Amino acid sequence: MPSEEGAKCFSFLRTRKYSRSDQRRCGLQCTGYGLPATLACEVRAWESRRRRFGCSDCKSRLQGLRDTRQRRRTDALEQGLRSAEQGRMVNPQITWWDGPGDWPNPIPYTGYQDLGLLPDGCAVTEQGISVTVDDAANAVEDTRVPVELVGVFNNFPKWVQNKYTDLGSDMPIANWEEAWLIRAEVEGGETAINLVNEIREHHGLPTVTYLSADDADGIRQMITEERRRSLFLEGRFWSTKIRERLWFPRGYGVTPYSVAYQDGIRMVMPTSEFELNEHLQVSQRGTLCAPEERPNI
């Protein structure tokens, strides 16, 4: 049973007779750590009452509250760091896929770990598998794709990107490298190789010397892989995946990090596209999409 002084403290806390300014001050102090203002204020109230009443019985209670506050603060900080890291995660090469489609293993044009370039500028094999720094002793790191191995999750390596590390990181709305790669797709041949080499030279990377101008398939593969790397995390490779019918999971399976793949949703074409085309009607929007992929109109 608490002593008379301790009872006074309990009574004080039950009625919450600490000042509103204390509550405001405590709330501001703890908000950054995700702590409830009431917990911080309760600690302050116990400290105030202990000094006022000289209560010896509340020492253990006060210490318990302090420990709880510190534990919650630490937990909140760790959770914040985990969340931030989760948002920076990138997938390794896809070797676990057992969903629809007759896909090879590993799946072409997937994975961002340890990407490298051979001295002749080769970044991808004829099978669409990216060159990595582990493939050859003379391969150099592709600095356009900065990633880091931070541990293992579910027996899979866990990689995070270091291109955008905080909310202040610059994120381009338009990228001249994308324009160069669009030109490369249109022109093909020697012009395509030269345009890619301009991008490589800008980043101080090996230029392409392994391709001939008449190797149309090789040039197409080079441009596809170049888009993956030059436009890393800019949201621009998505259109290439759709256009080239690359691996794009829809509503089946999960990543090794327990993140489920959602159903694919088609983009809605603007109304003007239908109004300006005499062969289309606005009422036709979405009618050629599978039900699970049909956009909400």
Q: Do 8 and 62 fall into the same domain?
A: yes
Range name among 26-40, 109-123, 237-251 with the lowest pLDDT average: 26-40
Confidence band for 15, pLDDT divided at 50, 70 and 90: very low
pLDDT for res 174: 85
Q: Are 180 and 195 in contact (CB under 8 A)?
A: yes
State which of 87, 114, 132 marks the end of a domain.
Answer: 87
Query: Which residues contact residue 83 at a Cβ distance below 8 angstroms, ignoring those fewer than 6 apart?
Result: none
What are the φ and ψ backbone dihedral angles of 197, each rounded to 5 degrees?
Answer: -65, -30
SS3 for the chain is CCCHHHHHHHHHHHCCCCCHHHHHHHHHHHHCCCCCHHHHHHHHHHHHHHHHHCCCCCHHHHHHHHHHHHHHHHHHHHHHHHHHHHHCEECCCCCCCCCCCCCCCCCCCCCCCCEEECCCCCCECCCCCECECCCCCCCEECCCCCEEEEEEECCEEEEEECCCCCCCCCCCCCCHHHHHHHHHHHHCHHHHHHHHHHHHHHHCCCCCCCCCCCCHHHHHHHHHHHHHHHCCCCCCHHHHHHHCCCCCCCCCCECCCCCECCCCCCCCCCHHHHHHCCCCCHHHCCCCCCHHHCCCC
Q: Do 111 and 20 fall into the same domain?
A: no
Q: 86 or 295: which carries more pLDDT confidence?
A: 295
Q: Do 184 and 226 fall into the same domain?
A: yes
What are the φ and ψ backbone dihedral angles of 150, each rounded to 5 degrees?
Answer: -115, 0
pLDDT for res 31: 31
CA-closest candidate to residue 75, choices 35, 30, 28, 29: 35
pTM of the model: 0.60
Q: Do 117 and 73 fall into the same domain?
A: no
Task: Count up the domains in the chain and report the number.
Answer: 3
Q: Do 78 and 186 fall into the same domain?
A: no
Q: What number is the average pLDDT over the span 126-135?
A: 89
Q: Which of 10-19, 74-83, 85-94, 233-242 has the highest mean pLDDT?
A: 233-242
Residue 76 reports pLDDT greater than 90: no
Q: Do 254 and 187 fall into the same domain?
A: yes
Q: Do 124 and 175 fall into the same domain?
A: yes
Residue 243 reports pLDDT greater than 60: yes
Q: What number is the average pLDDT over the span 238-264?
A: 73
* Residue 107 Cα distances to 117, 141, 223, angstroms: 19, 21, 18
Q: Do 165 and 139 fall into the same domain?
A: yes
Q: Do 132 and 20 fall into the same domain?
A: no
Domain span at 42? 4-87
